[in-house]
Structure 1
Amino acid sequence: MPMYEYACSDCSHEFEALVRSDTIPTCPRCQSTRLTKLLSVFATPTGSASAVLPLPSCGSCVSPGAHSGCPLALGR
């Protein structure tokens, strides 16, 4: 059973659900089936230098590798 992330079109609630291929997921808040599947972001372990991936360059940074103020560096 894969895990999916959804946003409800009726109440805007975002949630994760394990979904079997023969079931239709419903919003746990309002029971609506009008859902949008969201793009999942994979988690990485923290505290490990080997788990940090280099950020891609968008061309708007002052110098490569210096991401101060860069929107791609959020959370760093």
Structure 2
Amino acid sequence: MPRYEYRCRTCGDTFELSRPMAESAAPANCPAGHDDTVKLLSTVGLGGTSAQAPAPASGGGGCCGGGCCG
């Protein structure tokens, strides 16, 4: 079952709920009982690694970087 992250606008806490996708837009109460919450966008499920990609080599390829513009 997917997990969704929410933030309470009243107390500022963030929390997660497991619920079916069909209920993803349903209101959620924070653990402290407040009902003014907002669903956050989650980066969970995005692939990749934590290492940064190497910087592109200078002067290589492309019209503006490869000298084909004139």
Which bracket does the TM-score occupy, shorter chain normalised?
0.5 to 0.7
What TM-score, normalized by structure 2, do the two folds share? 0.52
Across the aligned residues of Structure 1 and Structure 2, the Cα RMSD in angstroms comes to 3.2
- Given that residues 5 and 38 in structure 1 are in contact (C-alpha distance below 8 angstroms), is that contact kept between their aligned partners in structure 2? yes
Corresponding pairs, count: 51
- Given that residues 7 and 37 in structure 1 are in contact (C-alpha distance below 8 angstroms), is that contact kept between their aligned partners in structure 2? yes
- Given that residues 19 and 25 in structure 1 are in contact (C-alpha distance below 8 angstroms), is that contact kept between their aligned partners in structure 2? no
Specify which of 29, 34, 37 is matched with residue 36 of structure 2: 34
Question: How do 1:1-76 residues align onto structure 2 when only pairs under 5 Å count?
Answer: 1-20=1-20, 21=23, 24-28=27-31, 30-42=32-44, 51-52=48-49, 55=53, 65=55
Please, which runs of 5 or more residues in structure 1 have no aligned partner?
A: 45-50, 56-63, 67-76
Please, which runs of 5 or more residues in structure 2 have no aligned partner?
A: 57-70
What TM-score, normalized by structure 1, do the two folds share? 0.49
Runs of 4+ in structure 1 over 6 Å off = none
Which has the higher relative contact order, 1 or 2, with Cα contacts under 8 A spaced 6 or more apart? 2
- Given that residues 27 and 37 in structure 2 are in contact (C-alpha distance below 8 angstroms), is that contact kept between their aligned partners in structure 1? no
Q: Distance in 2 between matches of 1:34 and 1:18?
A: 18
